[in-house]
Structure 1
């Protein structure tokens, strides 16, 4: 627990020891979930971890909320204002060195604006400062572990072998992976189908708006999608057609304590934050009185 946090919890009225950090392995986690004291479980983690937690919790009849991986689409319609929004799109992919479940990973761009988008996105990515993450001006640092960089390298290389074009990057040193851009990405490639947890942007050409929405929903994940367009009314009509748990128009997907947050499909189930997040772990009681 972060220093000073316990006092905040006590001042808010929580009992001593209510919040604790426990470092435990898989066997200990299973024992914790099975213990009668534990009434519910929430996890932010990988799809693999989520399946394991759900299995253990289900066996013990415990409520769960799972916030898992994502393969978020950033849809760019032909009328998108790149002057206004390009920096937001770059941040949506490269924030935290690309290590974010809600980061934009697949850029699905309508053909009319595709070439311009590739050129401008590539130029912006080239200008990102790489280096020591503790230095103020650094934007791209190292990944959390070297094995994550190796996984990313494998995903990029396999996508290139299947026909993707490398426009920028794909150099790795230890846990460092430089900003990387792939174009001509299509379904069936790891860069399209899988979560790339690092600074790799996959740019996919869509024939038209309908094709862009179809490509967006062509994913095992469903955490969040973002759309950039000047046609707000048309964007609102797409709300029921996007299968993800969140849909952001002209902004990057983000979490906010006032808004429910969670995904669909392999991105998990249930909602965190907001009133819905609180009610996810509340047992509603029915009381009936007859006079």
Structure 2
């Protein structure tokens, strides 16, 4: 077993850096240092924590070009999308700093068995996050800032291919004034990760990743009676209903499929189109998808860079081939390129039905699955015919009806109507079914890993 991690540029195939893995003893020392830091950090006022969270947002902005350049090198997204990711991170810090003190303030209650009472949201301790590579900065900021605001200390195990981004974020947080060991990046193997989960100082575990990884981490955490938050994969359906504006539908669905190279958990992946619109939508959707340029993300005319790793590209291609073997039809793309890098063409599959990976599983890359529905009701049925439930979308001119469909019938954590979005600090983010549980953003993340403690004064 190797004792190091080597990161590779997915555009060129060139080696970027090599990092030595921490052994069990070194990881344990970091966990224990994080716990010692917690004993002081928990005593800081909400206002002081908010001040430092705000400063982290400014530091992220100050380091935007450095961090964006590293993200482009490590996972291959275009520079402008990397900058947008860091802007979102700064926005999360600003939102948390502004609303955190109120969200975490004590709540007065009048108990029936005493003079007075209140609920205090006490921090729990060390929170361990296992994060993916698709948004190297955002995935980290999303959970860490909420927990830092709550008074917890935070550990990060980042995806191996974005190890440099994890270490740079630790440096930026410290530069902003965060006390030592309140946020630390662990460069560790999966085996050592299990030891971290089991460590008595670790009080909560949060993971963003596949449903397979979620099951393993949740089982290990449950074995040690640790609370978890899981944000897992999905195969989000976007419904093009009978009365949809086809111009809007095509633009929304293309953006929703290829944003971030199609490597987004809440991306549009299955396109469920009613019989009335299917042929017209298909023709225009394929034309627009075909017009997109895949290439070096640093070139100004590139629409999509490479996928993040060659093995991920190969897995996606295997899913496409298995779908075709089971009846799907390739309308464009679908051929694995030769040469360096982790490139994959924009691909559209037709005749997508149950039993194919394109219908049942998550295609984490620029591959779209077209599914024909008889009518609006059938489209809604197909959307919910999934083991996942993260996000989804509805395209319809009748916004009121679409809103009611979203409210009452769409079995997901998020629904976008007449547009596509990824995340916003104001709205909760998370899913149901095999897409996991727990919520981040919108103030919800600040309450996931706190002790809602009842204090009752029986007599004065």
What range describes the TM-score normalised by the shorter chain of this pair? over 0.9
Contact 2:174 2:180 in 1 (8 A): no
Task: Find 2:205's aligned residue among 41, 48, 52.
Answer: 41
Confirm whether residue 152 of structure 1 aligns to residue 316 of structure 2: yes
More helix by share: 2
Gaps of 5+ in 2: 1-166
Task: Find 1:107's aligned residue among 259, 271, 284.
Answer: 271
Q: Render the CA deviation track for 1:227-264: whole Å, top value 9, x for unaligned.
A: 11011121122122111111111111421111110011
- For 1:112 and 1:132, locate their aligned partners in 2 and report how far apart those are by CA, in whole Å: 39
- Aligned length, in residue pairs: 288
- For 1:47 and 1:237, locate their aligned partners in 2 and report how far apart those are by CA, in whole Å: 29
Q: Render the CA deviation track for 1:106-150: whole Å, top value 9, x for unaligned.
A: 000011010111011111111111111122221122111112122
Task: Find 1:196's aligned residue among 348, 363, 380.
Answer: 363
Corresponding residue for 1:2? 168
Shift of 1:8: 5.3
Corresponding residue for 1:184? 351
Task: Find 2:395's aligned residue among 228, 233, 237.
Answer: 228
Shift of 1:272: 1.0
Contact 1:244 1:264 in 2 (8 A): yes
- For 2:434 and 2:399, locate their aligned partners in 1 and report how far apart those are by CA, in whole Å: 29
TM-score normalised by length of structure 1: 0.95
- For 2:175 and 2:245, locate their aligned partners in 1 and report how far apart those are by CA, in whole Å: 44
Confirm whether residue 248 of structure 1 aligns to residue 416 of structure 2: yes
Corresponding residue for 2:288? 124
Shift of 1:82: 2.1
Confirm whether residue 162 of structure 1 aligns to residue 326 of structure 2: yes
Q: Render the CA deviation track for 1:83-118: whole Å, top value 9, x for unaligned.
A: 234222101001111111111110000110101110
Higher mean alpha-carbon deviation, 275-284 vs 81-90, is at 81-90
- For 1:145 and 1:75, locate their aligned partners in 2 and report how far apart those are by CA, in whole Å: 30
- For 2:320 and 2:248, locate their aligned partners in 1 and report how far apart those are by CA, in whole Å: 30
Task: Find 2:377's aligned residue among 197, 210, 215.
Answer: 210
What CA RMSD, in Å, does the superposition of the two structures yield over aligned residues? Answer: 1.4
Q: Larger Cα Rg: Structure 1 or Structure 2?
A: 2
Corresponding residue for 2:18? none
Shift of 1:266: 0.8
Higher mean alpha-carbon deviation, 203-212 vs 165-174, is at 165-174
Gaps of 5+ in 1: none
Corresponding residue for 2:194? 30
Write out the 4+ residue segments of structure 1 that deviate beyond 4 Å after TM superposition: none
- For 1:70 and 1:280, locate their aligned partners in 2 and report how far apart those are by CA, in whole Å: 22
